[in-house]
Amino acid sequence: MLYDVAADLLAARSQMAFTLGFHIILACLGVGLPTMVLIANAIGLRRNDPAALLLAHRWSTVMAVTFAVGAVTGTVLSFEMGLLWPVLMGRFGGAFGIPFAIEGLFFFLEAIFIAIYIYGWSRLSPRAHLLSGIPVAVAGIGGTFSVVAANSWMNQPAGFVLGADGRVAAVTPFEVIFNRATFYEVPHMLLAAYLVTGFLLASVYALGLLRGHADRYVRLGFLIPFVIAALAAPLQVAVGDVAARGVLEDQPAKFAAMELIAVGGSHQPETIGGILVDGKVVGGIQIPNLASILAGFSPDTYIPGLDSIPVDEQPPTAIVHLSWNAMVGIGTALVFLAVWGLVLRWRRRDYANARWFLRAASIAGFAAVIALEAGWIVTEVGRQPWVVFKILRTADAVTHAPGVQATFVAVIVLYTGLGAATLLALRGLRRRWAGQDAAAGGRAYGHAMDEAIPYGPHQGPEGPPP
């Protein structure tokens, strides 16, 4: 079979990156939304609050849609591990397949209980219904832990012995799962999930508040997700800081690319913006000594540069560096937003009237998604040319099947449609709810309350549109 290796490799990498970048947004919602829904549901039941119950009910409908899209795009990823990277799986499946197997367990639980929760609104007792949501939130966390542990293993492979045939000859599962990168990647990703979900959801209600709808429903819809995201934001910066030092120690090439360090040494500046051209930083601004100070708390900290890495083992610098800047910039900005909210509270100002605060909050969701994608670009592109760090090159892992370029195009088309359909479906839901609210002359609380009553009337899928 004749094929163009370089073009196929590029197509395979792009397809993997594209489908992962798509899935990860839904994955964040799959981890974060159940928590938000459960909080709203619990508030609703405890305080007998119809606004909270209506929010929980509507959010769970959103969750049904995004979970389904997350599940199918995740299934595609599982296929792609073999379709695109058969050599990676054939040689190392025995090692880093183990966390994936644990992931499978958690996603099974998640799929089961999410169905019980979503379909259980009308005919389970309110208490049983609420309880059925808890495994969903827990399984989301467990699933994230396992799948990110698999990714960490690619960055810091451990817990196996290589045989003469290049295959894994002995495996210690515990060391595979708890490799050196697991400790910073997993919490960082979990926090990212709550940040993304929280700020995305808060963004929607911030827009509502800006339009002057400041009833309890909109306020609560803003507050619950915003508070969670605001709590996660500072923690995220702290964990990211630990992660950065971990990367410096474990993956110096990635760190050098992140910080645009061409020549190793102490007193390294922090570069914001700019790119590396012929070993020199062009453009951007530099803050003297800052990179060294952040990395080791002293300007004397030595940071290895790209000069200590063989040329054919260096990652691309521009994209890694700029993505790194984007993530850190946004992460810092999100902390400021959280503090802003806190200050408003201290000064007893009503955030519903703080228009600049709400404007900032209304773009925070989008910004968090950008930070998420940027972070993954840093991690994945920064690992290049390795797929398994220092052990297997991406170029050697790719499939020899012809047709990757065609599937890449097909996937782009399909996912564009999928993304558009998801957004259309969500917009359709919003309109439908607005219609219900208008018909009820306020908020359609009766709707949620009816639904929450066990054995209440229910509307079949073929029922008339409300």
Partner 1 sequence: MTTVQGTAVVLWLGLTAYAVFGGADFGAGFWDLTAGATKRGAAARALIADAIGPVWEANHTWLIFDLVILWTAFPPAFAAIMSTLFVPLTLAALGIVLRGAAFAFRPVAPGLPERRAADAVFAISSIVTPFFLGAAGGGIASGRVPAGNAAGDPWTSWLNPTSMLVGSLAVATCAYLAAVFLVADARRSQPALVDYFRRRATLAALAAGALAVAGIGVLRVDAPVLADELTRRGWPLVVASAALGTAALVLLRRGISRGTRVLAVGAVVSVVWGWGVAQYPDILPGSLSLADAAAPPGSLEALLVVFVVAALVIAPSLGLLYYLAQRSRLVHRGL
Find the part of the chain contacting ligand HEM (CB under 6 A) among 143-151, 263-271, 358-366, 420-428: 143-151
Q: Does 192 bind ligand HDD (CB under 6 A)?
A: yes
- Nearer Cβ to ligand HEM, position 120 or 143? 143
> Which of 387, 411, 444, 448 is in the footprint of ligand HEM by CB under 6 A?
387
Q: How far is the CB of 441 from partner 1 (least distance, A)?
A: 19
Indicate which of ligand HEM, ligand HDD, partner 1, none lies near residue 236 (CB less than 5 to 8 Å, by partner kind): ligand HDD
Q: Does 387 bind partner 1 (CB under 8 A)?
A: no
Site for ligand HDD in 210-249 (CB under 6 A): 236-237, 240-241, 243-244, 247
Question: Residues, the chain, total?
Answer: 466
Q: How far is the CB of 2 from ligand HEM (least distance, A)?
A: 23
- Nearer Cβ to ligand HEM, position 191 or 361? 191
Indicate which of partner 1, ligand HEM, ligand HDD, none lies near residue 334 (CB less than 5 to 8 Å, by partner kind): ligand HDD
Residue 260 contacts residue 286 (beta carbons within 8 Å): no
> Which of 17, 21, 100, 178 is in the footprint of partner 1 by CB under 8 A?
100
Tokens found for residue 91 = 């040689």
Contacts of 131-138 with C-beta under 8 Å, sequence gap 24+, read 133/34, 133/37, 133/38, 133/41, 134/38, 135/109, 135/110, 136/34, 136/110, 137/34, 137/35, 137/38
Q: How many residues bind ligand HDD (CB under 6 A)?
A: 30
Q: Does 38 bind partner 1 (CB under 8 A)?
A: no
Rounded distance, CA 38 to CA 36, Å? Answer: 5
Burial of 290: CB neighbours in 10 Å, binned 0-12, 13-18, 19+: middle
Residue 203 contacts residue 365 (beta carbons within 8 Å): yes
Q: Name the DSSP letter for residue 216.
A: H
Q: Kindly provide the residue ranges of all beta strands, DSSP E only, lying in 211-327, ordered along the sequence.
A: 270-272, 275-277, 280-282, 285-287
Residue 110 contacts residue 136 (beta carbons within 8 Å): yes
Strand 160-162 and strand 392-393: pairing? unpaired
Burial of 47: CB neighbours in 10 Å, binned 0-12, 13-18, 19+: exposed
Name the residue with tokens 């996603």.
107
Indicate which of ligand HDD, partner 1, ligand HEM, none lies near residue 113 (CB less than 5 to 8 Å, by partner kind): partner 1
Instruction: Tell me which residues touch ligand HEM (CB under 6 A).
Output: 13, 16-17, 20-21, 23-24, 26-27, 30-31, 66-67, 70-71, 74-75, 77-78, 81, 85, 88, 107, 110-111, 140, 143-144, 147-148, 150-151, 189, 373, 376-377, 380-381, 383-384, 387, 394
Instruction: Tell me which residues touch ligand HDD (CB under 6 A).
Output: 155, 181, 185, 188-189, 192, 195-196, 236-237, 240-241, 243-244, 247, 254, 327-328, 330-332, 334, 368, 371-372, 375-376, 378-379, 382
